[in-house]
Structure formats: structure tokens, C-alpha cells
Amino acid sequence: MSQAALIDDLRAKMRELEGRPQVSSMRVHPVLEGLLEVQPGQVYTVGAASLAMLLMAGPSVQGQWAAVIGATDFGMQAAQAFGVALERTVLVPDPGADWLSVTAALIDVVPVVVVAGRAMASRDAQRIAARLHEHQGIVIAWDTAWPRARAHLRLTDVQWEGTDRGAGHLRARRATIEVQHPGRPSRRRELWLPDDHGQVRVADEPPLLRRVG
């Protein structure tokens, strides 16, 4: 399929979203509450796939659509565990050389766009910023340097737990999430991503009880 045909196909699939209402802020996953406010019209860079999924989850719970561009190894099952609605997620694993046009076309109709592993020139970033401002969506730049991003999220102090302290079956991952805003002190919080029950939660909070039967 040519890039023009791909863009037309994506527009057709997302036409029902045209005229979506604008919002002043987007919902965040509960583990990010008080740590990060996601504002429409902005770009957020992340250093790990799990952080991209974490940012996708809040708007997805609100009923928003998302698109993931250029991530050939994006884990849909993992995204679902974070709370991302797969039925409202569009994957474009290989957008080709014209990936910027694909990204711009999706920003026109999809509130949350994840861009993976693409070098972003300053001029192109300005073009995307103008579209984001017009349509009030967000871009999540995964493993991508992006000029003038609103905030950068990364994981530090990552520890896996499981059989023989992670040598066998890995059951849980504990890590510190660090949120960096330009010109401000970093903010940190320890999380389970996930815990040994498969829950994503703040490390010092008890796990949710699951109903049996």
C-alpha cells in the first residue's frame, strides 16, 4: 500500500472521531496522579514502552482513541494490562519513509499518538506542534528525542523479582519513575510495573483485592 493510500485508509477508519470535543486536560493513570498533568496540545517523551502505555491508559479509560506509529514490537497484551483499550488503538508498525505525514494525518483525528524511534528535526517538531495545538491531542515520543517536549519520563532503579530473584520466571518489576520538566526539579515515585499479581500500582500502597467466585 502506498503512503497516500495508507493515510486515506487511516482517515477513513477514524472519521467518526472528527469534531471531537476539546478538553483542558487528559486523565492520567492513577499511579501518575499528583506526579504529572497531561495537557492537550503537548509532547511527552518517554524512555520505555511501559511508560508510553502508562500515558496511553488514562485517555483510553476516558474513551479516547490512540495510534502507535513505528513500534514493530509494541506489546498489545502488555498495553491492555495497563488499561489501554485495544479496540480503540490503531497500530502502524511500519509507516515507511513518509512517517511524518502519517503522524500528522493521525494527529488530525486521534487524540493520542505514540511515535517510536524517530529522529525529530526542529522544523518538523514545529509542524507537529502546530497541529497538536489545533486539534488538542498529545504526542508520546517513545525512545525519541523531541525538541521542546513538555516533560520527559524515564525509569530508574529497575528491579525484577521472580524465581531465584529473577533468574527464572519474572513475576514483578519495581522501578522509580522520574518526571522531568524543563527548568524544574525532577519528581519521582516508586511503582510496581507490575506487581506479582499483575497490578500496576504505587510501591507503598497495598494491592487491590480481587473478588473470587
Q: Does the pLDDT at position 191 exceed 90?
A: yes
User: What is the predicted pLDDT for the residue at 153?
Assistant: 98
Mean pLDDT value of segment 12-32: 72
User: What is the predicted pLDDT for the residue at 17?
Assistant: 55
Mean pLDDT value of segment 188-200: 93
The pTM of this model reads 0.87
Domains and their CATH numbers in the chain = 3-15+22-142 (3.40.50.300), 153-202 (no CATH)
Give the whole-angstrom CA distance, residue 20 versus residue 121. Answer: 29
pLDDT in tens, 136-165: 999 999 998 899 899 999 999 999 987 555
Burial of 123 (0-12, 13-18, 19+ CB in 10 A): exposed
* 3-class DSSP state of 1: coil
User: What is the predicted pLDDT for the residue at 10?
Assistant: 64
Q: Does the pLDDT at position 2 exceed 70?
A: no
Long-range Cβ contacts of 198-206 (<8 Å, 24+ apart): 198/81, 200/29, 200/31, 200/54, 200/81, 200/82, 200/83, 201/30, 201/31, 202/31, 203/174
